[in-house]
Structure 1
Amino acid sequence: MRFPSRRLAGLGTAAALLALLPAAAAARAIEAQYDRLLLTLCDALVATQITDPASADCGALVCPSTNPQVHPLHSRAAEAVYPFAIAWRRTHDPRYRDAAVKLARWLIGKQQPRGAWGEAWPNFDGWAGTTADQLISLAGAYPFLRNELTPADQTAWEGAIRRAAAYIVQAFPVGNINYHPTGAVALLLAAEAVRDPVPAWLAKADALVALTFRAVNADGLLTGEGQGVDLGYNLAQSIGFLALYGILKSDESIQERAAALLRTHASFVYPNGAVDNSWGTRSYKWTYESGTKTAPGVYFTFALLADRDPDFGAAEQSCLDYLTTHALHDGLVTTGPHADQHASLTPPCLYSTFARAQSIAMALTYAPGRAARGPAVRQKNWHRFFPSVGVTVLRTDHLMATVSAYGAIDRYGRGQVSRGGSITNLWLEGFGATGFAQSSSVSVYRREEDIHMPDESALQPLTPRAECTIDGVYYTTLFEAEGRMSVTEEPGAVVVTTEGRLRSSTGAAAGVTYRLTHRFFGDHVTKEWTFVSPHPQVIRLVEPFVRDPDLVVAQTAPQRVRLGFGGDKAWAFAVERAPTGNTLTCNEDATPYWSPFPGVNGRPVIVTLTTTPGQPTTVETSFGPDPVSRKP
């Protein structure tokens, strides 16, 4: 067993080239890009495989990560059986075939008598809903590998497929809604893989898909992740498997309903190809690449539906470019652009790598030739308000932003979901390595899913916010789960306003109300805060900015801070209006301003003010390009 070395040559951004190519050539180019990326990911995974036949775990993939567990053998890593099989099919390289056969043999040996696979290591017990993922891998790969297997292996594969299908029929629906369409596809593939499938498999599959579509809300968002909406899982798993189910059944209605869901959810794909799950119920695992760590990935979702809307093809290409340019470390997929600066995430866990390999393999298997993907122009100057979740996403000429007042805290709590009307993602054209100027994270870092989240020291949220401390109790706008959002337009601006109260982690109100009004212009944003408190109250406005390695922050005036990257172009954060005695600083220790999800470091800029008792106290700030063209 060895860990992977860097293999990234030839995976550069293709978007500029694609814009110049005819549609058919563009379709061939993206398929070639998928091929290169599939081999990169598979090579990294093969490099971790135990190949010693004397080992009891021969065939398993050894996770390079040491946090939170030291080199675990993830049962779900056997999802790589399918991408290995597709890599072999496309290259005829026996390394991939052999890796798939060995990995499947190991996985089958870990199957429970009831047909399930447990996700927890080292006993392979615990959560078993992911049996659907392993079944997809085995059943999907079997038709390609059947003739390469010994009779004993064929019997073992078919027995494992039948047992897993029986388990899904018995146990599903289970868990969050992503398991519904995943289980349905697993059963359909199982029925195609073996002789004389059980009729109950197909009946259960149809029922799971019907149950999924019943969970679409009035805004066209799929509900059911953590008792709410999670953009990441919806986009990177549920919608993709609905599309695949429709394709496998040649059901035009299901495919079109999946496309309708994708049109709504694709609003949160940013210009740089990142997926904004800053506000979702399970955003504690948010990654810019694909929106969540452990779902298959957005690539098959867009690829399978690219023939239905040119915007899907454009988003697919952007997301693929983001992965290849910003999310790979030695061939493994990372949680974010700054993850490799932290020992807690270096080297990365295998989960995102084998999951993305599966998504890309499915795109190559089911999408090629379905459509000639022509370049599409991503639209500007639009906004969408989703009242059901209290979230607004918008695009102007040179920026894109998400503002969230989502209050779905029943499952995971206000420390994991609520954002109180804050900007949770802000992209500015030309800012830093990816364009992200501000981002967000959970307000209280907690390992909600132990095996997927590293141990960390005390962390500060990356989300912009107002905060105060009263009698030793911390209150912030981030804990407001009942904020009231409205969206209007003014000349040249989209205006997003949220009203609420500063609250503690338990939901107790501080007695301080706030109204936060964002105005988004072509290339800058202003914030107007108005507070009302019965007593003089010291309040801090914390504005963390994405801290790329070459970011230079300097205070150029008492009420002005410049942010630049060593060239002539820079941006400025300024206090435009505030009560007498306020202060602006940018020298607070930035070390705690980090989160493994979305894998970003922050640099805080802080405004401190004191309210006037019983009277509205207003502060206005601005952030955008600095008109002074000199280095900070």
Structure 2
Amino acid sequence: MQLQLRKREITLLQTWMDRLIADQITSPNPRFDGGALCPSCLHFHGRVIDSIYPLMTLADLTGDERYRISAERFFIWGNNLYCDDHSYYNDAQQTWNKTTIFFAQSLELALTEHGQILSPQVYDTWITRLREISRWMFDNFTKSDSANTNYHAACAAAMAMCGQFLNEPRYLERARELAEFCQEHITKDNFLFGEGNPRDFITAKGCYSVDVGYSLEETLPNLLEYAVTMADEKLYARLVHVGQTYLHFLLPDGGMDNSFGTRNFKWTYWGSRTSDGALAAFTRLSQRDAAFGSAVDAQLTLLERCTHDGYLYGGPDYAAHGEEPCLHHLFTHAKVLAACIDEPTAKRRLGKATQLLGHWHFDAVNTSVWRTPLVYASITATDYAHFEGGHSVGGVMGMLWHRAYGPILASGITDTTSREPLNTQLSRRKESLVSSAWRWSYHEKGQDYSNVYDLMAQMVTDKTGAAVYFNFANKHFERLPGARGQIRYELLDNRITWRLRTSVAKPITLILPICKRENWQFIQKDNGVRITKGETQLVISSSASLKCVKPGFALAPGFELCVLYFELASNANESLTFEVTPAHQN
């Protein structure tokens, strides 16, 4: 099984790198030559230089000179972003340069793992550059830096790697300082925090700035790299517990539940748009817990499923919806795939893991999770708001997944605003763009009020469901006095029921985006719908009036949707049911 998994990893890496080489530009203009133009963003992503490591991995593994030549060309093209202070711009017209840390890691790995296949001249050029950017990191990045915590973790790893390779004890000491800082950003229930603004703020409910995507794809992998490089067994053991906490949010199909994450505007279902990936971390952790071996297989399967024509797409339905692929996903996740391939097979443990079942409440994010043999559901009443229009709050069931159907609900950002424009993408199919965050919507004096903006909502949970009490609030998190609501969530394996009550004297709209491909069979019947996916049908029914159904697409986390609009009467007392059955049943 280990050899079969490694073969799949090599095949996927070759698929991605062959596509990247095909897109690498040949031009007499040195500003263009050796770069790669992104089909989605229509510009040159500066971090494409990180691909030198996966390209060198394949060059060494296969003996195919194309990969080494491509790596050398990307390195040379990167000089267009290399500054006189020995840092790299993230992009040509962006001053952000802390991503230099990630390139330092790629360059160090390329040299230590595969440097023997370079000519002496190229090797000297690369190691000279590594010395220069290592000095920049040491001179410019300390634990007092205001960047998100994932950068401190990455720099801890990079300083440790470069300190050992270049024999610089001061770099190793800086690595220890940064790692200690990161350990101060682990909650008592083993969440990594520091992905928000303000980074260290703890809310009235005791919630932290936690993002599942960045935790699993950046911070955890980099702290593990530091712990391995520095032989820090105490930290490694602690990180095993951190990883085990995050396993609660990893779905059986390899997806991540980041519905409550502070940076879920970059949620891609398989992870986050511009982070490096979780596969290498899961591979390492599988040595201590077989559950991570199962996670490697599930994640790899999902990445394979989201790869089309050599590109890794930004979500499961991007290709089906006709969206363009962004190169950024490909070259960052290729870096981690290469690390998996370079990991000795003997160190992997891929035994069958016990299925994670039960009910848990996590105080650090005020979020509850239910896992049964068939169903995954999460409900969040966190009050950490990274920005207006971000992730849902208010006691929302942000994720609902069924083994036979897959994602049913996947609540992304509440408002379709653009964040980090160079790291996210636009769609030309603007008419179909919607938020995947379901909500109750109520208009009063020209403002929209909803449950998804209520930071003070209260939630009580047990093993069968939850009761949520909220107040309608606007996007500025300001409550509308007297406009209250209540939801009782009841969870069974094949039936999930919501019992809905309001104390609002006007009708309210329930907007319910359901994950559904455009080509899946769909029937509207009475006050509900029936969706058929292969041999499975999802039936949604309500006592409320179904007014209309519209198609939609959510860029984050990347699903096609059918959006149901129900009208709830004033002072409503209604119910809503999700039922999954075999398709042949009526």
> TM (normalized to structure 2)?
0.92
Aligned pair partner of 2:311 in 305, 329, 332: 332
The structure 1 residue matched to 2:533, chosen from 555, 565, 570, is: 565
Look up the equivalent residue of 2:180 and give its one-letter code.
A
Q: Identity of counterpart residues, as a percentage?
A: 24
Give the corresponding residue for 1:471.
445
Q: 1:15 maps to what in 2?
A: none
Cα distance 1:429–1:148, how it changes in 2: closer, same or farther (>3 A)? closer
C-alpha displacement at 1:331, in angstroms? Answer: 1.1
Q: Does 1:625 align with 2:580?
A: yes
User: For residue 556 of structure 1, what is the amino acid of its counterpart?
Assistant: K
Select the residue among 58, 61, 66 that pairs with 1:90: 61
Taking the aligned partners of 1:110 and 1:566, their CA distance within structure 2 comes to 49
Q: Which residue of structure 1 lines up, in the alignment, with residue 302 of structure 2?
A: 322
Counterpart Cα distance in 2 of 1:294 and 1:602: 24
Shift in Å, 1:114: 1.4
| C-alpha distance in structure 1 between counterparts of 2:80 and 2:447, whole Å | 52
Aligned with residue 496 of structure 2, among 521, 525, 539? 525
Structure 1, residues 361-403: CA drift from partner, whole Å, max 9, x if none? 11122352213421224233x1221122121121113111121
Name 1:73's counterpart in structure 2.
44
Q: Which residue of 1 aligns with 2:550?
A: 589
Q: Give the letter for the 1:588 counterpart.
A: V
Q: Work out whether residues 259 and 305 of structure 1, in 8 Å CA contact, stay in contact via their aligned partners in 2.
A: yes
Residue 181 of structure 2 is aligned to residue 206 of structure 1: no
Match of 1:579 in 2: none
What one-letter code is carried by the residue in structure 1 that aligns with 2:382?
A: Y
What count of residue pairs does the alignment treat as equivalent? 568
Number of the residue aligned with 1:575:
542
1:495: which partner in 2?
A: 465
Q: Which moved more, 1:306-315 or 1:382-391?
A: 382-391
**Corresponding residue of 1:374:** 351
SS at match of 1:519: strand
Cα distance change of structure 1 residues 626 and 472 upon mapping to structure 2, 3 Å threshold: farther
* Closer/same/farther in 2, CA of residues 286 and 54 from structure 1, 3 Å limit: closer
Q: 2:469 & 2:130 partners in 1: Cα distance? A: 53
One-letter identity of the residue aligned with 1:165: S
Structure 2 counterpart of 1:277: 258
- Measured in 2, the distance between the counterparts of 1:35 and 1:351 equals 19
Matches within 5 A, 1:65-464: 65=40, 67=41, 70=42, 72-108=43-79, 110-121=81-92, 123=93, 125-172=94-141, 173=143, 174=145, 175-194=147-166, 197-226=167-196, 227=199, 228-289=209-270, 291-325=271-305, 327-342=306-321, 345-346=323-324, 348-380=325-357, 382-409=358-385, 411-413=386-388, 415-431=389-405, 435-456=406-427, 457=430, 459-464=433-438
Q: Is the 1:550–1:566 Cα contact (8 Å) retained in structure 2?
A: no
In structure 1, C-alpha distance between the alignment counterparts of 2:539 and 2:29, rounded to whole Å? 62
Q: Secondary structure at the match of 1:178?
A: helix
**SS state of the match for residue 577, structure 2?**
strand
Q: Partners of 2:537 and 2:492 in 1: how far apart? A: 17
What is the aligned partner in structure 2 of residue 62 from structure 1? 37
Q: Distance between the aligned counterparts of 2:316 and 2:118, measured in 1?
A: 41
The gaps in structure 1 that reach 5 residues or longer are 1-25, 577-581
Unaligned runs of 5+ in 2: 200-208
Equivalent position SS for 1:241? helix
When residues 316 and 149 of structure 1 are mapped into structure 2, their CA distance, relative to the original with a 3 A threshold, is: closer
Post-superposition Cα deviations, 1:71-118, rounded to whole Å, max 9, x if no partner, equal x22110111000011111211111111111221222245311212111
Query: 523, 530, 549: which is aligned to 2:518?
Result: 549
Q: Shift in Å at residue 163 of structure 1? A: 1.9
* Structure 2 residue matching 1:47: 3-state secondary structure: helix
**For the residues of structure 2 that align with 1:544 and 1:571, how far apart are their CA atoms?**
14
Q: 2:420 and 2:235 mapped to 1: Cα distance?
A: 32
Distance in 2, matches of 1:316 and 1:627, equals 29
Residue aligned with 2:77, SS: helix
Letter in 2 for 1:597: A
CA contact (8 A) 2:290 2:349 kept: no
Structure-2 separation of matches of 1:220 and 1:566: 39
Q: How far apart are the structure 2 equivalents of 1:147 and 1:555?
A: 63
1:504 equivalent in structure 2: 474
Against the structure 1 CA distance between its residues 64 and 575, is the aligned structure 2 distance closer, same or farther, given a 3 Å change threshold? closer
After TM superposition, give the deviation of residue 341 of structure 1 in Å: 4.0
Report if the CA contact (8 A) 2:283-2:348 is conserved: no
Q: Any conservation in 2 of the 1:496–1:518 contact (CA below 8 Å)? A: yes
Matched, 1:515 2:515: no
| Cα RMSD for the two superposed structures | 2.0
The CA distance in 1 between the partners of 2:332 and 2:452, in whole Å, is 32
Measure the CA separation in 1 of the matches of 2:450 and 2:316. Answer: 27
Query: In the alignment, residue 579 of structure 2 is paired with which amino acid?
Result: G
CA distance, structure 2, for counterparts of residue 484 and residue 87 of structure 1: 52
Tell me if structure 2 keeps the 8 A contact 1:111–1:160: no
Q: What is the deviation of 1:239?
A: 0.7
Q: Which amino acid aligns with 1:452?
A: N
- The alpha carbon displacement at 1:150 in A equals 4.4
Letter in structure 2 aligned against 1:339: Y
State the AA in 1 paired with 2:278.
V
By how many angstroms is 1:210 displaced? 1.0
| TM-score scaled by length of structure 1 | 0.86
Residue identity matched to 1:610: A
Q: Distance in 2 between matches of 1:153 and 1:97?
A: 11
Q: 1:486 to 1:171 in 2, by over 3 A?
A: farther
Match runs of 1:26-65 below 5 Å: 26-52=1-27, 55-65=30-40
* Contact kept? 2:284, 2:348, Cα under 8 Å: no
- Residue 152 of structure 1 deviates from its aligned partner by 4.2
Once the two structures are TM-superposed, the CA of residue 538 in structure 1 deviates from its matched residue by 1.1
Question: How far apart are residue 448 of structure 1 and its match?
Answer: 1.1
Q: Do the aligned residues in 1 keep the contact of 2:392 with 2:411 (CA within 8 Å)?
A: no
How far is the alpha carbon of 1:627 from its aligned partner? 8.6
Matched AA of 1:63 = C
Partner amino acid for 2:307? L
| Structure 1 residues 566 and 295: CA distance shift in structure 2, 3 A | closer
Taking the aligned partners of 1:119 and 1:91, their CA distance within structure 2 comes to: 31
Q: Equivalents in 2 of 1:627, 1:366: separation in Å? A: 42
8 A Cα contact 2:494 2:581, kept in partner: no
Please state whether the residue corresponding to 1:133 is helix, strand or coil.
Answer: helix
Aligned to 1:538: 507
Q: Is the 8 A contact 1:552 1:566 kept in 2?
A: no
